[in-house]
Amino acid sequence: MADLREQLRAIIAEIAEIDDLSRITDDANLYKELGVDSMQALEIVLELEKRFNVAIPEAKLKEIKTFGDAVRVAKDAGAPD
List contacts with another protein (CB under 8 A): 15, 17, 37-39, 42-43, 46, 58
Closest CA to 38 of 54, 62, 22, 18: 62
| AA identity, residue 71 | V
CB of 3 to another protein, least distance (A): 25
Query: Which contiguous run of DSSP H or E holds residue 55?
Result: none
Active site residue 3: no
CB of 31 to another protein, least distance (A): 12
Q: Output 47 or 68, the one with its CB closest to another protein.
A: 47
Strand partners, 29: 66
Q: Which residues are known catalytic residues?
A: 37
